[in-house]
Structure 1
């Protein structure tokens, strides 16, 4: 089990959080310290196998000294596996404290193609670049890469911009199923590895449908 706290911002995105001066940065990290240590204690008490020290906070990760201090203090409260969950496009390559963690986490909402209802072959091609990039990152840092979120709408446009909550398109359960793992008997992702560098696991994101009648519809990600 991975305990993965998120910060949600009203009218914005957590990756755009940034401060204007040192005083504000000090105040922000003091607040975040209290926030994440609460979950570190909860993870320790509940026996969680892994804890995310942060999720898509790319506007803050250049503050390497503060993040290393956060990670070190979290380790005093929680004795399981630690991961930071980076946005695939923003802070994955810019984060410089991967060596202080156990896993490299990726919020893997990669655009896989520019067509509706893509074939499995198109999706395999779409994943080839991201997977090669993640293998390189794993080798550079000597850490396993874990896809801490991967999800797709049940829409024929799901592989175009999977991160968009209000993505337009037509209902397509097949596109959703193929994008996240391929049809039965076909493997898009490589086998998982038990340790060392390479791929550790996939964790799907299951968001509630936004249909007012309470029915599961094309708004669902899985």
Structure 2
């Protein structure tokens, strides 16, 4: 009798960790290109051991104070449109890769979207109506493809801070259309002030936190640099009791890549492949072991794998660099 009880207790003990653990999002941010994609483009994602991709249709604004968002037109690249999103998702889902739909805004000349701000109530109303049309288009598409996650916005700090009631209402409207999980991609210095984390499923952070002023910081130095930021992340996580998702993360393969990791507009700088490897290893060490951490999406993965990255490339992509080999190892764990 005692043996039988011990046997069932052992079974229960073995079962509990499996039921309590959630598989991490080992994701890649997949470029919205001018082309359709097929297995030749998805194979590299599979080889990287990724189980998620972020697919990113785009809307466009002329200026930071312009309220009208243009989207889903025949003048855009295919991957930036609804048709492109549906086609990309179908190809990835054939191979059991999960999808986050992450519609994004591009401001002409690459101005920072966090500074989008209207100068009158009339223009704010136009922006709200335009943004609703934009995001609800992709909420419907996300439901159509049964996407696992929908990101309701990316780095829209002034819009989010100035119009909180609009965002509360928008989330309710999205919930009527889309039945999956919701997140918002807050910039690394914005996430502490977002008011609606309690209304969505993941606290989303674009995790470009400054970690080190060193030319080529070691993994240990980077982990020390993470300490104050991780405390802030944990504070917000505990406040809302929601899992944290790094909606974007990554490092350029360049000297001083952890000083201002968000900087993407400067092409110059000495190639430093090890600095990129160290950055990815440190962030994985600090977060992937945490139960409250859902995972994240590496920035950025291009569809023509054989034509991008490489040992002379100092940009964000890990493709055809030592960083890709590291990702394969970390994501396989």
TM-score normalised by structure 2 residue count: 0.60
Contact 2:197–2:203 at 8 Å: present in 1 too? yes
Give, in angstroms, the shift of residue 190 of structure 1: 4.3
Higher-RCO chain (CA-CA 8 Å, sequence separation at least 6): 2
Change (3 A) 1:20 1:151: same
Residues 1-222 of structure 1: pairs in structure 2 closer than 5 A: 1-11=99-109, 12-62=111-161, 63-89=163-189, 91-165=190-264, 166=266, 168-182=268-282, 187-193=285-291, 198-206=292-300, 215-216=308-309, 217-222=313-318
Contact 1:157–1:167 at 8 Å: present in 2 too? no
RMSD (CA atoms): 1.7
CA deviation string 1:140-173 (max 9, x = no partner): 1111111110011111221111111116432121
Aligned counterparts of 1:215 and 1:46: Cα–Cα separation in 2? 29
Give, in angstroms, the shift of residue 87 of structure 1: 0.6
Change (3 A) 1:98 1:119: same
1:211 — aligned with what? none
Contact 2:183–2:202 at 8 Å: present in 1 too? yes
TM-score normalised by structure 1 residue count: 0.89
Displacement over 6 Å in runs of 4+: none
Moved more, 123-132 or 23-32: 123-132
* Residue correspondences, number: 210
